[in-house]
Each structure stands twice: as structure tokens, then as C-alpha cells.
Amino acid sequence: MVGSVRIVGAGLIGTSIGLALSAKNIPVEMVDIDPASQALAQDLTGGVRIANPDLIIVATPLKALSVVIEEQYALNPNSTFMDVTSVKTEPIAVVEASKLPLRQFIPTHPMAGREVGGAHSARADLFLSRSWIITPTAQSDPAALAMVGELITSLGATAVELEPGAHDAAVAQISHLPQIVASLLASSLHGAPEQWLELAGAGLRDTTRIAHSDANLWKEIIASNADQIKGLLLNLHSDLEKMIASLNDQEKIAAMINRGRDGRALIPGKHGGKAREYTFVPIVIDDKPGQLGAIFNECAAMSVNVEDLTIEHSPGQLNALITVALSDDDAIKLSNHLSAIGWNVHPIRK
Amino acid sequence: MVGSVRIVGAGLIGTSIGLALSAKNIPVEMVDIDPASQALAQDLTGGVRIANPDLIIVATPLKALSVVIEEQYALNPNSTFMDVTSVKTEPIAVVEASKLPLRQFIPTHPMAGREVGGAHSARADLFLSRSWIITPTAQSDPAALAMVGELITSLGATAVELEPGAHDAAVAQISHLPQIVASLLASSLHGAPEQWLELAGAGLRDTTRIAHSDANLWKEIIASNADQIKGLLLNLHSDLEKMIASLNDQEKIAAMINRGRDGRALIPGKHGGKAREYTFVPIVIDDKPGQLGAIFNECAAMSVNVEDLTIEHSPGQLNALITVALSDDDAIKLSNHLSAIGWNVHPIRK
């Protein structure tokens, strides 16, 4: 395991890494160009001064990467370096143009974040159960790669290897396009009467949540991945034109909504891999302690594997609706068993 | 207060109203053209048969409104009627063309919903702290209006009066436009490699959540409000063109992101329906049968009431992150207890 880590950039990601490492008793030094951010991050993480860190994590904006790498490499020519930038082609080009040998640099991107930034928003568990992409180059030193992989695993994340170009295409689709769409949608609210906005529900709130993101962060991400993003925006532009032309045609509208619903279903659930088709068993239970435990004990006794669970319950309501997501076979097995021993099981559904 | 209510249409909205009313000991009858939906809704709400309901709530799709109103009016010529359709100009036109006198019909629209539909998704607290729009006409009977207003208040919602036309313009902006945008964004996921989608985080999930919505519901809503929606889509189309032209200009990108951030900030915090205030306990468990049951047994032993639960799991990972939603007090109690007996509990968060 890595012996000591310097983290340059005391924002959300950098400080969250610092918190997680210091919770594992790994000595951490938090460095930031802003003295207040650095002091807060050092305080939060119990950071110390480290003379020769094994690993230097550059967690600054992309535009600072070049300067930080030159500075840190001059100070610590034997350290391994990694970045956590949201794009990967450009940071690799930055390192290629610097004195830091490419073999000492491991490009990474943790798929975690919050719409709030800064050291004060940091959480040690930010990376738990998240994917963390590594985009090694042909020059990457195997020992450096192993150290970074081990660090990622120790933070509770799963390391995923991708080619730098494939990474940038993937994040354009799953992160940059949603950001631009949310920002444009939120922009459309300017000029709407206050009374209308007071009526907004969860749909508008969720759809625009990430519009709260930081413009200084995003202007860099979007500009540095413009080529990948452009194709996606052109497709959206053309789909929008089709939608405008179909507003009076219910069947075309239904086809578009269904296409969106099917697209949404491609985002995997619990296990990733395939978008798995679960079968759902609805069970009405009395709203009292012990009911959920009793159901899960039956699941364990029947060796059925619960993939997901929702609980619908309202204050003042004396029962609750539990919906358990299972494989098709497990759903039939559990439904029959629970019904036989007297539970109020409703028909399973896909 | 209203003495008895028949609800025609045992979908999400109808059944949620039924749950809330029966929790207040108001006799409810749930009626649906689909016998399984009707049976589930009657079971969940403790519904009974009612001969002469004071109020008939039509909670069917728009296209069924005309038939349901004729049928129900023939059976109950003295009842007050209300609808809960997502547009208001068209239902008023439907009633005007029917035998039901317009004075007996109160057009309403609760600003609540979920991306999942059906009786099984209903919640008695669906309307808590939500706005519920009433669009009276010049003919509306004051007593009928008062009954409906009182019902809305008793469900925990806030009645808001709007002109029918203003309603339709408002919902085009705050509901129909986000729906179309979410559907188009989710449509763009077709053809993306599976590995990319496995990397999707909360941003893509939230931005596309409502893309899961029902096409049969939305084709009606969009077509019946096409005029209002068209102008908004044309503006979005033009903003998208500007964005495409600005992809290499960091200052223009920043301006667009900031404009979105400012637009997002216009959505008020208090009025349009706030998320329930739960406290979250994150627990890392081994991904094997029996772990969930064991946790829920501890919940029962501690008499803490689990309000909701999410399970997060990355591809290839041997553990999973369970996040349990609880009241503030219960969260502290459960977190301390589970930690003390050796579970891997992370700091609670709001």
C-alpha cells in the first residue's frame, strides 16, 4: 500500500480522497493555492507536512495541471503522479509536454461528485461503490499502475480500465451531455412568472439539479472535450426538430417518449453489466417493526437474492407496500412461499 | 367536509387520493376499468361500495374523461365532479360538450407525481406540501368549489387558483418541457456501449429519471398542450445552436452554465413540494444473502422505522452500499447500535 500521499487541490474530490486516506492512517498532506482552503482541508483530514510523498495526486482544475506538475516534479522527481480530471486525452497531452516522464503519471477519473463543491462538502465515503476510471498509456509503469489501483480499491471504489479516447467519448455521453442539457433547461426558466416556478415539482428539480454546477469547472471540461460533445449535441438538435414537427401527432409523441423510456432502461441497476430485467414482488405489510426483517429472513431461508427494494409508506397509513426486485425464478419462488405462509402478496410484475 | 368519495381511475394519483382520504376515515370507493388495478386499490385503501358519493374524482387519462363523465353523471346526477388532469383547457371543453353542467365540475391539477405509475406506486403523502391548482370557470358552483378546496387542504396540499390558460402555459414550462428534454436525453443513450452506461452516475440518473414516464399518459398531455410547448421548444432549439457554436469558447460556455445556474436558483425552496426530510445511514455490507435480513432484524429490535432504502453496487464488487432513510432520532439510534455490534456504518448525512 502507498506510504504517504500529497494531494494538490483541496476541492471536493481532493479533500474527499484526503479524508478517506487519513481514515486509513495513511499520512496525507493537503496543498492548495488558496490558503483558507488548504487550512480547512489540512484540519479536516488531519494533514501533515510530507517531505517525499510516494504519490502526488493532482486534484486541481485542468488549467492548473501543467504548472502544478512542473512544480511538484521539480520538488519530487521520484514520486508517482496521478490526476483526477474529468477528461483524459488532454491531461495526458499536458504531461507529454512537461518534464514529468509519462511512465510516472497515471491518468484517472473517479465517477463521483456532488453538485456542491469545495473542501467543506468533502466526504470520506464519496467513492464508495463508485467506478473509478484509469486510462493507462503504453508507457505507464506497472508498479505505479498497481499503486494507484490499490489506492482506488482502498477507497471503496472499483477500478475500471479504459482507453483515454474511449473515456472521453463515454463521459461526453453520460456526463457532459446531461450537464449541458440541464443547464439549457434551467436557462429557460428566466422570465417565467414567479407563480409558475412556485408550482415546480420534483421533475423540474431533478432534471435541473446539476445545473447548479460550477461554471469554472465546466467551461474547462466542455471546451477540452468539445469534439466528442459536438456530435451528441447535433443529434439532440435533430431529435428536437423532429419533436417540434410531431407535437400534434400522438403516435409520434408516444414513440419518442417510449424511445426515451427504453434508453433510460439501458442504465444498469444494482449490478451493472447488463441492464437486468428484474421481476417485482409487491407485498403489503403491517407498518410495525419486525415485518421487513421477517421477510428478509424468509428470503435468506429460500436462498433468493434481493436485488433491490422499495418501501412505499405514508405517515398515517397503517400498512406499507414493499416491492422486492428479484430474478424471474426467485420472484416466483418467493411469491409462492410467502403467500403459502400467510403474507399479503400481490401479483408479481415485470 | 366531504362525506364520501368515488374515485374513478386507480392509477397513481387516484389511489394516492384514496389512501389519504381513507386514512382520514372518509369512505372511499376505488373504481377502475382494469379489475386487477381496482382490486389492488380497494385492498390498499380499504375501499367500500358507495351508492351516492358527494364527490366523484375522475382520475383517468384525458381520453377517457368524456365517457367516464357521461357514465358517472347518469348514475349520480347530484354529485360534484372534479378531475385531476395535467392540462386544463381541454377537460373544460370536454365537460362543456357533455351533459354534466359546468357548475358541478371543478377542474383541478395536483402538482405531484412520480415517474412510476399505477396503484402499487401510490402514497398517501404524495400531496403533502404540494401545490394543487384549481382553475374555476365563471359557472363554477361556490359550494362545489369550497368542497374541493377543503378536500385539497385536507390532503396536505395548498390550493392555488389559476386561469385555465395560465395553467397550461405554466405546466408547459415547468413540467412538459422537462419531460420532453429528459426523454430526448434518455433517447440519446441508445447505441452507447454497455461499458459506458455502467459508469453512469447520479447526474445522468437524475436528469433522465422522468424519462421513465408512461407514453400513453404523456402523448395526451403533450398533444393537448402543443401550442404552449412549441414556443418553448423553439427557444431551446435556438439555445442549443448557440451552444454548439460556442464549444471552443470557454467564456461563452461559462456564461451558459452560469445562466443555467441562475435559472435553477429561481426555483423556490419552500413551495413547489419539498423532498421529505430524512436522515441517511450508509452501511457497507457483503453482497450475500442474509445481510439485509440481519440489518432489518436490528432495526426491529431497536424499534426504528425504515422510511426508505437504496442499494448501490458496482460491477465486479464484492460488497454493496446500503443507504437507509430514517427520522433524525432513529438514524442516530440505529447508527450507534449497528456500529457497536460491528457493522461497517459510515457517518450519517442529511
pLDDT of the residue at A203: 87
Q: What are the pLDDT digits (tens) for A66-81? A: 999 999 999 999 999 9
Q: What are the pLDDT digits (tens) for A253-287? A: 999 999 999 999 999 864 343 445 678 888 888 76
**Chain A closest CA to B282's CA: distance in Å?**
9
Greater model confidence, A326 or A254: A254
Contacts of B182 in chain A (CB under 8 A): 203, 207, 260
CATH 3.30.2130.10 fits B279-345, yes or no: yes
Beta carbons of A129 and B313 less than 8 angstroms apart: yes
pLDDT higher than threshold 80 for residue B104: yes
CATH 3.40.50.720 fits B5-162, yes or no: yes
* Across B330-334, average pLDDT: 93
For A248, nearest residue in chain B (alpha carbons): B223
pLDDT of the residue at A174: 95
Inform me whether the C-beta atom of residue B277 falls under 8 Å from chain A C-beta atoms. no
For A240, nearest residue in chain B (alpha carbons): B237
In whole angstroms, give the CA distance from residue B164 to residue B83: 13
Greater model confidence, B199 or A171: A171
The complex's ipTM works out to: 0.76
A300 and B289 in contact by Cβ < 8 A? yes
Inform me whether the C-beta atom of residue A303 falls under 8 Å from chain B C-beta atoms. yes
A306 and B320 in contact by Cβ < 8 A? no
- Residue linked to cell 428539480: A205
pLDDT higher than threshold 80 for residue B141: yes
A270 and B311 in contact by Cβ < 8 A? yes
pLDDT of the residue at B29: 98
**Chain B closest CA to A143's CA: distance in Å?**
23
A306 and B300 in contact by Cβ < 8 A? no
* Across A34-42, average pLDDT: 91
Q: CA dist B323 to A29, A155, B26, B208, B345, Å? A: 31, 18, 36, 22, 10
Q: Which helix (H) or strand (E) holds B229?
A: helix B226-245
pLDDT of the residue at B313: 59
Greater model confidence, B322 or A233: A233
B207 and A266 in contact by Cβ < 8 A? no
pLDDT of the residue at A144: 97
In whole angstroms, give the CA distance from residue A55 to residue A342: 59
pLDDT of the residue at B274: 37
pLDDT of the residue at A293: 80
The interface residues of chain A toward chain B in range 47-66, judged by CB-CB distance below 8 A, are none
Q: What pairing do the DSSP bridges indicate for beta strands A319-326 and B319-326?
A: unpaired
Q: Which CATH superfamily is domain A167-265 in?
A: 6-phosphogluconate dehydrogenase C-terminal like domain (1.10.3660.10)
| Domain extent listing, chain A | 5-162, 167-265, 279-345
A273 and B194 in contact by Cβ < 8 A? yes
Q: What pairing do the DSSP bridges indicate for beta strands B5-8 and B28-31?
A: parallel
Nearest CB to B289 within list A175, A244, A305: A305
Q: Cα-atom radius of gyration of chain B, to the nearest Å?
A: 23
